[in-house]
Structure 1
C-alpha cells in the first residue's frame, strides 16, 4: 500500500504544526493542524478518524489523538512564503491549457510548477479531441476562426451547403485547435450548432466538452445549470468531473466541495483524478485539508498517480519544506514510481529558490541523464533554472546545443535565463531572432521579454515593448497588464500601476491576474496606506476573487504599519473561512481596537 512520509526533522524558523499518528505503511500522515494553534493528546489509530461528507463541505471527524510536530504533510497555511506560492499558482491562473476538462489532469495545474505533458492518470477520460497537437489547423477550423463575432453558425451553414465533409474526426480536430487558441466563445457556438443541426450524435464526452466551454465563457453557475439539460443517461462521472475541474480552475473551494460530495451522493467511484483536483485546490488555498484528501484516498483504496506525488512535492516545495519534499520523493520511489523530467524540474526549481545550489545542480544533471535519448528536450526546462542559479557557463552550454536550430520553447527559455543573469543584451538578441523568425507573437511571448525589463527596472524599454506589441496587432491581455504593473511598481510608481490596471479592467471588462492586484496591495500595505489597501481588497472581491490568506495578510500589515485599529477584522476573516497563523494572530492583536493595555486598565 502506498505511503507518504511525514517530515521528521524540524526546520529552523518554521512554526509548529499539528499532526496525528495515522500510519500508511512506513509513513505517518499529519491529519489536522490549525495554523500554529496546537492541540495535544495521545496518539490514535486510523479507525478513530473517518471522513464524512456534508452537503456543502468536505468535512472530517476529529479524534483527539494529536501531538506537536514541527512538520506536517503540507506546511502551515499562510506562512511567510505565501507570496512565493501565489506567484507559482496565481501568476498564470488565466492561462491553463486549452484542452477539454476531461482530458489530462495535468491541465488543471493552471500554471503551477507541475507540467502538463505527461498522462499518468488517464482514468479513461481521453476523448476524440486528444489528437496530436502537431497537426496543422484544419480547413474547418480556419472557416470557424475567421468568422466574425457571433456569425459562426452562418459560416458552418455555408460549409455544409457547399457539401464539405463534417466527420467526427474533422469536428474533433477543429475543436481542439479552437481550444488551443483559447477561442472558447467560437468553440461554444460550434458545439451548440452541432447539436441544434443534428450534425453529431452527442455522447457524454461531447456534453462534457460543452459544459467545460460554458464554464469558461459564461461561468460556473451557467455550467452547473446546463447539467439539467443533459439527458439523464449521459449525466455520468465525466460530466461532474468536468464541472469539478472548472471549480478548481476558478479556485472556488465551496463549489468544488459541493460537486465532489454530489459525485459521492450519486455513487460515482472516487477516482484519482477527482482527488487530485482537490489536492491542487487545497495546495493553493487551504493546505490544512490536504491530509483529509490523502486519508480519504487511503480509506477508499484510491491509488495515487505520479501526478499526485508531483502535487505533494510542489506543496512541500512552495512551503520551503525541503526535508518534507525529499521524504515524499523517497516514499514515491519506495512505491516503484520513478521521477520523470517534469517531477525533477519541480525539485530543481524549489532547491534553487531555497538557495540549495548543489542539490539543484545535481537534479539538473539527473534530468539530462533521464532524457539522454532526446538530449534537447530538457533544455527548455533547464535553461531558466541555470539562470536562477546564476550559472552563466551552463546557460551558454545549453544554448549552444539549441542555437543552430532552436525550437520556439528554447528561444523563450533562453530569454528567461539571460534575464535572470541580468544580461539584457543577450536576451534582446534572442528576442530579435524570434521576431525575425515568427511574424506574429502572442502576448505570452512578448510578456517573457517584458519580464526581463521588469526585473531589471527598465521602465522606458518596457513601455516601448508594450507599444511595439500593440502596433503589431497583438492583444494586450491580463498577462501583459501584470508585467506592466510590475514595471511601474519596480520604478516606484505604485499609483500609476494602480491607475493603469483600473483603466485596463474598465476598458476591456476582463479579470486581471491575482498577482497584479497583490503586488499593488503589498506596496500600499508597506506604506501603511489603509485606504488604498482596502480599495484593492474591495476590487478583488467585486471581480470574484475568493478571499485568501495572503490578501488578509497584506491588509492587516497595512493597519499595523499605519498604527490604526481595524474594527471587525477577525469577523471578516472568519466569514471568509480564513484563519490566522501564529504570526498573523500576533498582528491582529496589535490592531484590535478593543485590546486591553496597562494604560487602559489604569484609565478604567
Structure 2
C-alpha cells in the first residue's frame, strides 16, 4: 500500500445620556464622593459575537437590546458582517427578526440577502419556496440575481437559463451580470458548446463584455483547451485597453495555466511576464505564491529564483511563503536549494514554523533520504518543541519504504508530542498495528495503545488486532488492558 502525503458595528455609542448640570449641582450638596458613571453597555455586535454556537438563537440578545431602549439602525450592517464571517444561521435569524418585528421595511436587497441565507442554512428547496412567496414589489434585480447565483452554485443549468430568460422578459437589470454567471456555469459543467450561442446573443442584444465576462471566457476556453478562442479574447482586449480596462492579472495567469496544460511553455512564460506586471497590490502575497507555482510547473528554475528574490516576504508572511518556495524547489529536484531555504528561514524567522521543515521532510521521504530527514528533525527538535505532524511525515516515509520498525518508532514520537485535535492517519495506524501483530510484539502494541488513549477511541479493526496479538502470545487480556482498548471503541 502506497501512502500519500496530505497538504474576527461598532454602532454609534448609544450609552445612557447623563444630565451634566444636574450632576454638577448635586455634587455641591453631597457629602459623598462623586461616583463615575457606569460604563455603557457593549455594542450589539459584541453581544452577538459571544454567541458562537450556531444552534443557539441570538433572538434573546436582540430582544434584550430593544428592551434597554437601544437603537436598531445597524441591523442590516450586522447581517452583512455575520454573512461575511459565514455565520449564516445567526445572520438569517437577525434578518427574519427585522421583518417579524417590523423594524425596517423589506427591500429588494434585504430579500436577496435573506434568499441566499435561506439557501445556505436550509438548502435549495427552501430557498425556492422563499423566492416564490415574495411579493412582486421586491422581486427585482437583486433577488433574481441571488436566485441565479444559487442555481449556478447548484449547477442547475436549465433553471439558471430560465431565470435569465425571465429577467430578459421582465427587463429586470438585464446586462452582462446574468450572462457572466451563465458563462461560469457552462465552464463548471463542461457545456462549452453553449458559449458561442450565448456570446452571439449578447452581441445581438448589444450587451458589452466587461472584465468578468472576459475572465470567465478565458477560463472556459482554457479549460476546453480551445486556445485560439482564448487568444482571440486576449488580443481583442490588448488592442483596445482603454475601452476594456486591459487584461487582468487573473486572465493572464489563467491563460498561462492553459498553455502549460498543453505543453506550450514559451507562450505560458510570456503570459506570466505580463501577469507579473498586473499583480494586485491588495493580494500580492497570494499572487507571488501563484507565480512561483506556475513557474515551477513550467520547469523554469531560474524564473522561480528570480521571482523569489524579487519579492522577498515580509516578517508577517515568512512561514507560508517559505513553505511555498520549499515545495517549488523540491518539485524541481533542487533539494539543495530547499535546504538552503530552510536554513534561511531558521535564521530570519523570529517565530519558527515547522510547516517549512515539513515540506523539506516530505521531499526527503519521497527520495528515500530517511536518515537525513530524521537527523534534520532531531536537530530542530533540540532547539524547540516539535510538531506531531513532523514525526508523522517520517512515519509515512518509513512505511512507504518498508521500514516498519522505524515507522512505529516515528509514530510513537508523533503521539508523544501530540497536540489537540491531531490524530494520526488511519492507514498509518493500521500499518503499524499490522506490523506489531505479525511480530507478536505485545509490549509494543500496549505502548502504542496507551499513547493513543488520549487521541480518541481505537477502531474495531485495531482492537481486533490487539486481541489477536494477545491470543497468539498466549497472554490474558486483563481488565485494565481491556478497558483501555475498548473504551469508546467504534461499534
TM-score by length of 1: 0.47
Query: Which residue of structure 1 lines up, in the alignment, with residue 382 of structure 2?
Result: none
* Structure having the higher Rg: 2
Identify the match of residue 208 of structure 2 among 272, 297, 303. Answer: 303
Query: Which residue of structure 2 lines up, in the alignment, with residue 500 of structure 1?
Result: none
Query: Which residue of structure 1 lines up, in the alignment, with residue 276 of structure 2?
Result: 368
Aligned ranges for residues 3-18 of structure 1 at < 5 Å? Answer: none
Query: Which residue of structure 2 lines up, in the alignment, with residue 199 of structure 1?
Result: 103
Does residue 1:291 correspond to 2:196, yes or no?
Answer: yes
Aligned ranges for residues 328-407 of structure 1 at < 5 Å? Answer: 328-336=233-241, 337=244, 338-371=246-279, 376=284, 378-400=287-309, 401-407=311-317
Aligned ranges for residues 225-264 of structure 1 at < 5 Å? Answer: 225-264=129-168
CA contact (8 A) 1:247 1:255 kept: yes
Does residue 1:212 correspond to 2:121, yes or no?
Answer: no
CA apart distance, 1:302: 0.8
Aligned counterparts of 1:292 and 1:485: Cα–Cα separation in 2: 50
Aligned counterparts of 2:332 and 2:87: Cα–Cα separation in 1: 36
Aligned ranges for residues 85-96 of structure 1 at < 5 Å? Answer: none
> Structure 1 residues 262, 376: closer, same or farther in 2, change over 3 A?
closer
Query: Which residue of structure 2 lines up, in the alignment, with residue 150 of structure 1?
Result: 56
Aligned counterparts of 1:345 and 1:370: Cα–Cα separation in 2: 10
Aligned counterparts of 2:184 and 2:83: Cα–Cα separation in 1: 22
* SS of residue paired to 1:348: helix
1:497-551 CA-partner distances (Å, limit 9, x unpaired) = xxxxxxxxxxxxxxxxxxxxxxxxxxxxxxxxxxxxxxxxxxxxxxxxxxxxxxx
Aligned counterparts of 2:427 and 2:266: Cα–Cα separation in 1: 31
> Structure 1 residues 280, 486: closer, same or farther in 2, change over 3 A?
farther
CA apart distance, 1:430: 10
Aligned counterparts of 1:186 and 1:420: Cα–Cα separation in 2: 44
Aligned ranges for residues 16-165 of structure 1 at < 5 Å? Answer: 140-147=44-51, 148=53, 149-164=55-70
> Structure 1 residues 226, 373: closer, same or farther in 2, change over 3 A?
closer
Query: Which residue of structure 1 lines up, in the alignment, with residue 227 of structure 2?
Result: 322
> Structure 1 residues 410, 420: closer, same or farther in 2, change over 3 A?
same
CA apart distance, 1:210: 0.3
* SS of residue paired to 1:274: helix
Aligned counterparts of 2:170 and 2:106: Cα–Cα separation in 1: 22
> Structure 1 residues 330, 398: closer, same or farther in 2, change over 3 A?
closer
Does residue 1:167 correspond to 2:76, yes or no?
Answer: no
1:343-401 CA-partner distances (Å, limit 9, x unpaired) = 11112222233332222222222223344989956424312212222334443443443
Aligned counterparts of 2:186 and 2:213: Cα–Cα separation in 1: 13
Aligned counterparts of 1:457 and 1:152: Cα–Cα separation in 2: 54
CA contact (8 A) 1:211 1:239 kept: yes
> Structure 1 residues 207, 372: closer, same or farther in 2, change over 3 A?
closer
> Structure 1 residues 231, 361: closer, same or farther in 2, change over 3 A?
same
Gaps of 5+ in 2: 1-41, 369-388, 397-410, 430-491
Aligned counterparts of 1:190 and 1:449: Cα–Cα separation in 2: 44
Aligned counterparts of 1:486 and 1:334: Cα–Cα separation in 2: 55
Aligned counterparts of 1:267 and 1:486: Cα–Cα separation in 2: 58
CA apart distance, 1:164: 4.9
Aligned counterparts of 1:192 and 1:431: Cα–Cα separation in 2: 51
CA contact (8 A) 1:411 1:430 kept: no
Aligned counterparts of 1:407 and 1:152: Cα–Cα separation in 2: 37
Query: Which residue of structure 1 lines up, in the alignment, with residue 459 of structure 2?
Result: none
CA contact (8 A) 1:141 1:177 kept: no
Aligned counterparts of 2:142 and 2:98: Cα–Cα separation in 1: 20
> Structure 1 residues 348, 270: closer, same or farther in 2, change over 3 A?
same
Aligned counterparts of 1:356 and 1:263: Cα–Cα separation in 2: 41
> Structure 1 residues 438, 183: closer, same or farther in 2, change over 3 A?
farther
* SS of residue paired to 2:106: coil
Query: Which residue of structure 2 lines up, in the alignment, with residue 557 of structure 1?
Result: none
Gaps of 5+ in 1: 1-137, 440-444, 477-483, 489-604
CA apart distance, 1:471: 4.9
CA contact (8 A) 2:315 2:349 kept: no
Query: Which residue of structure 2 lines up, in the alignment, with residue 105 of structure 1?
Result: none
Query: Which residue of structure 1 lines up, in the alignment, with residue 170 of structure 2?
Result: 266
* SS of residue paired to 2:208: coil
Aligned counterparts of 1:398 and 1:187: Cα–Cα separation in 2: 42
Query: Which residue of structure 1 lines up, in the alignment, with residue 406 of structure 2?
Result: none
CA contact (8 A) 1:184 1:213 kept: yes
CA apart distance, 1:418: 5.0
Query: Which residue of structure 1 lines up, in the alignment, with residue 127 of structure 2?
Result: 223
Bigger CA drift: 244-253 or 406-415?
A: 406-415
Query: Which residue of structure 2 lines up, in the alignment, with residue 181 of structure 1?
Result: 85
